[in-house]
């Protein structure tokens, strides 16, 4: 391992310690028709679900949207106007949205970025030629002005048929929504994988995975794919883990994990069961105000992984105030047996006595200092609210929690030379950032590096590489160092340490290499210089 050209650059910009929340949208809460009913919907069924949202208490708990997810068209007229299935919806779509609004709720609708919807694959010619492609402006006027809907989910089945450019087509749709005459429409992109960092500029939320189904393996897989997505949730824009299967066929423990992890990972909460026939325990879980508060917290943060131990993940995020004394903690056990995990509270930046409350059981757990032991059943999750005597500075930033400026999941990342993340049980948090470098924008950024007072720090980079690979190091946009790293094996971790200076408040640490691949990154540590 060689270290060359190290330099420490002092940046004396002081940032005011005001981390008040912004007035952005919190994750969408509502119900969607697809999980239980698919294409078998009608006007009476949708009205019944809206009534049930009110009568069961879901509306009072924060659920507002009744989303019609496919199944209402009957093609287009010769002039291009959308036609509604007037057997299933005899009163028309505007009368239905009016009814939903009369209950104090909001109405959601569905379309496709291409010409055909996903339902057309199941019942030809049901959804043919009803997508937004070539009808963006006209259809948005129909949905949001003529029919008065408040949300749209835009799928991609027809886009595959036309081999559309996702970014260009979804941006065109976003512009049509923006210019339709309303400024309150919520827009969800459903491309079944993370589209790319451009998506947060045009959409409120975006699907990060394939479709969910009613089974533990599906929920487990979706959680796994979203554990490392925290950097892409920000400013009222969210990673969508798909609709909820709570209240259908999974066990009570699995349902609780499903809902709790959707809450702490700040996914939209869209109920997918039949709300007219929910069990009491399903209603109790879906209306749990303390879990919902974690999801709807106005900081708009997604929890990130801090530890991976004995097959379990520990995740954390701030609540109420950035870098304050209150945080949400989840201990997630996807394994097939019960686990007892010791939580390192100082590692979660919680100092002194820490008051803990179980948010699922809604009971206080007392106070702890240093360590807290929690037993979690197989497929289970414990979510706690923690209030500490003092907030400590974060030392470790896992590579898989960093932001890759060129990250996307639509195309083969190796062919596109875009960075990604990979599970690795030997790494600190159970994963690492990989395939970085080769172009300047394929960097790894840590955008929320917080220093209470600013000053001189030691930056330690943990990396894996079987050959010499260079890393350029920038802090707050200024080049502060360059290292050549070689751990001797692509499966072996080594470290290199360089001096850096952080300003008071929030800092950005950037690792890059515009000319060749960087090493894989396990984590970075930041410690005050002695």
Going along the chain from its start, the domains and CATH numbers come out as: 1-21+299-530 (2.60.120.260), 29-295 (3.20.20.70)
Q: How far is CA 92 from the centre of its chain?
A: 35
- What's the rounded mean pLDDT across residues 215-230? 98
CA dist., res. 112 & res. 249, Å (int): 29
Selected catalytic residue, list 98, 211, 221, 358: 211
- Percent of the residues in the chain that have a pLDDT greater than 90, as a whole number: 91
CB atoms within 10 A of CB 229: 24
Band of pLDDT at residue 202, cut at 50, 70 and 90: very high
More confident position, 129 or 302: 302
**Number of C-alpha atoms within 13 angstroms, CB side, residue 244?**
29
Task: Write down the catalytic residue from 69, 115, 155, 470.
Answer: 155
Residue 29, helix vs strand vs coil: strand
pLDDT band at 127 (very low <50, low <70, confident <90, very high): low
Which residue is listed with tokens 């952080």?
502
Q: Which residues pair with 523 in a beta bridge?
A: 398, 462
Q: Is the pLDDT of residue 8 over 80?
A: no
| Residues 525, 513: Cα–Cα separation, whole Å | 20
- In this model, does residue 2 exceed pLDDT 90? no
- Residue written as token pair 């009570």: 252
Reply yes or no on whether the pLDDT at 444 is more than 70. Answer: yes
Mean per-residue pLDDT, 130-144: 97
Q: Is the pLDDT at 432 greater than 60, yes or no? A: yes
What percent of the chain stands above pLDDT 70? 94
Confidence (pLDDT) at 119: 83
Give the CA distances from residue 423 to residues 224, 428, 433, 525, in Å, rounded to whole numbers and listed in that order.
10, 11, 9, 20
The per-residue pLDDT for 126 is 59
Has residue 264 got a pLDDT over 50? Answer: yes
Q: Which residue has the tokens 């996702």?
A: 166
Residue 249 clears pLDDT 90, i.e. is over it:
yes
> Locate tokens 């920000």: which residue?
234
Q: Are 418 and 439 in contact (CB under 8 A)?
A: no
State the DSSP code for 25.
Answer: P
* Cα–Cα distance, 108 to 151 (Å, whole number): 4
Is residue 225 within 8 Å of 210, Cβ to Cβ?
A: no
Residue 396: is its pLDDT beyond 80? Answer: yes
CB-based contact 108:188 (threshold 8 Å): no
Q: Which tokens hold the place of 204?
A: 């409120």
Is the pLDDT reported for residue 16 higher than 70?
A: no
- Report the pLDDT averaged over residues 411-435: 96
Mean pLDDT of 469-489: 98
Q: Which two tokens stand for residue 352?
A: 């002194």
- Confidence band (pLDDT; 50, 70, 90) for 128? confident
The pLDDT of residue 6: 34
Q: Which of 231, 217, 309 is nearest to 266 (CA)?
A: 231
Give the Cα separation of 31 and 45 in Å (integer): 13
Whether the predicted pLDDT of 417 surpasses 90: yes
Residue 6, token pair as written in the block: 């190290």
**Closest by CA position to 31, among listed 359, 286, 295, 290:** 286
Residues 6+ apart with CB under 8 A from 154: 110, 111, 112, 113, 132, 170, 173, 187, 188, 189, 190
* pLDDT at residue 1 in the model: 39
Q: How confident is the model at residue 162 (pLDDT cuts 50, 70, 90)?
A: confident
Cα torsion 155, 160, 164, 165: sign: positive
Give pLDDT tens digits for 20-78: 444 589 999 999 999 999 999 999 999 999 999 999 999 999 999 999 999 998 999 99
Dihedral angle sign, alpha carbons of residues 291, 292, 294, 295: positive
DSSP 234: B
Judged by average pLDDT, the poorest of 42-56, 155-169, 312-326, 440-454 is 155-169
Pair of tokens at residue 476 = 């707050």
Task: Flag the least confident range among 12-26, 409-423, 456-470.
Answer: 12-26
Average pLDDT over residues 110-136: 82
Burial class (CB in 10 A: 0-12, 13-18, 19+), 214: middle
- Coil, strand or helix at 7: coil
3-state SS, 111-168, equals EECCCCCHHHHCCCCCCCCCCCCCCHHHHHHHHHHHCCCCEEEEECHHHHHHCCCHHH
Mean pLDDT to the nearest integer, 397-416: 97
Give, in degrees to the nearest 5, the angle at Cα 506 between 263 and 478: 130
Integer Cα distance of 15 and 9 in angstroms: 17
Contact 385, 214 (CB under 8 A): no
Q: What is the pLDDT of residue 185?
A: 98
Task: Establish whether 155 is a catalytic residue.
Answer: yes
Contact (Cβ atoms closer than 8 angstroms) between residue 39 and residue 218: no
Q: How far is CA 62 from each of CA 133, 292, 484, rounded to the nearest angstrom?
A: 34, 8, 52
d(CA 298, CA 319): 8
Q: What are phi and psi of 363, to 5 degrees?
A: -145, 150
Name the residue with tokens 């999974």.
250
Provide the pLDDT for residue 7.
35
165 is catalytic: no
Average pLDDT rounded to a whole number, residues 130-153: 97
Question: Per residue, what are the HEC states of 247-292?
Answer: CCCCCHHHHHHHHHHHHHCCCCEEECCCHHHCCHHHHHHHCCHHHH
């Amino acid at each position: 391992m060689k270290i060359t050209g190290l330099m420490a650059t002092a940046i004396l910009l002081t940032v005011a310690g005001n981390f008040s929340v912004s007035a952005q949208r919190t994750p969408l809460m509502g119900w969607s028709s697809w999980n239980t009913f698919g294409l078998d919907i009608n006007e009476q069924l949708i009205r019944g679900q809206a009534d049930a949202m009110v009568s069961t208490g879901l509306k009072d708990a924060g659920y507002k949207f009744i989303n019609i997810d496919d199944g209402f068209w009957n093609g287009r007229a010769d002039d291009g106007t959308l036609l509604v299935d007037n057997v299933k919806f005899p009163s028309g779509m505007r009368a239905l949205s009016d009814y939903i609004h009369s209950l104090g709720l909001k109405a959601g609708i569905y379309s496709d970025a291409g010409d055909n919807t996903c339902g057309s694959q199941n019942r030809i010619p049901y959804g043919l030629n009803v997508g937004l492609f070539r009808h963006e402006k006209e259809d948005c006027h129909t949905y949001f002005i003529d029919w008065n809907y408040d949300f749209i989910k835009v799928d991609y089945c027809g886009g595959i048929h036309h081999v559309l450019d996702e970014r260009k087509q979804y941006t065109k749709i976003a512009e049509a929504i923006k210019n339709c005459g309303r400024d309150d429409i919520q827009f969800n992109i459903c491309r079944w994988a993370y589209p790319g960092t451009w998506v947060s500029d045009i959409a409120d939320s975006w699907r990060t995975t394939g479709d969910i189904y009613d089974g533990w393996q599906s929920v487990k897989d979706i959680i796994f794919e979203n554990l490392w997505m925290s950097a892409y949730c920000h400013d009222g824009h969210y990673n969508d883990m798909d609709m909820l299967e709570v209240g259908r066929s999974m066990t009570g423990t699995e349902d609780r994990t499903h809902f709790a992890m959707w809450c702490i990972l700040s996914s939209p909460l869209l109920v997918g069961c039949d709300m007219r026939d929910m069990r009491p325990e399903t209603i109790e879980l879906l209306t749990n105000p303390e879990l919902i508060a974690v999801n709807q917290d106005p900081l708009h943060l997604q929890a990130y992984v801090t530890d991976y131990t004995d097959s379990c993940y520990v995740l954390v995020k701030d609540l109420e105030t950035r870098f304050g004394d209150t945080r949400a903690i989840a201990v997630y056990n996807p394994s097939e047996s019960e686990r007892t995990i010791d939580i390192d509270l100082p590692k979660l930046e919680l100092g002194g006595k820490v008051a803990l409350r179980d948010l699922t059981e809604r009971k206080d757990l007392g106070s702890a200092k240093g360590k807290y032991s929690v037993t979690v059943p197989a497929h289970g999750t414990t979510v706690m609210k923690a209030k500490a005597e003092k907030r400590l500075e974060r030392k470790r930033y896992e590579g898989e929690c960093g932001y890759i400026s060129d990250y996307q999941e639509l195309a083969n990342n190796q062919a596109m030379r875009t960075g990604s993340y990979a599970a690795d049980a030997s790494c600190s948090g159970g994963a690492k950032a990989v395939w970085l470098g080769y172009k300047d924008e394929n960097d790894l950024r840590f955008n929320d590096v917080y220093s209470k007072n600013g000053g001189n720090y030691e930056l330690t980079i943990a990396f894996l590489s079987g050959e010499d690979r260079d890393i350029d190091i920038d802090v707050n946009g200024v080049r502060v160092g360059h290292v050549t790293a070689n751990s001797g094996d692509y499966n072996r971790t080594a470290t290199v340490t360089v001096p850096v200076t952080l300003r008071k408040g929030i800092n950005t640490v950037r690792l890059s290499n515009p000319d060749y691949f960087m090493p894989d990154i396990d984590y970075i540590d930041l410690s005050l210089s002695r």
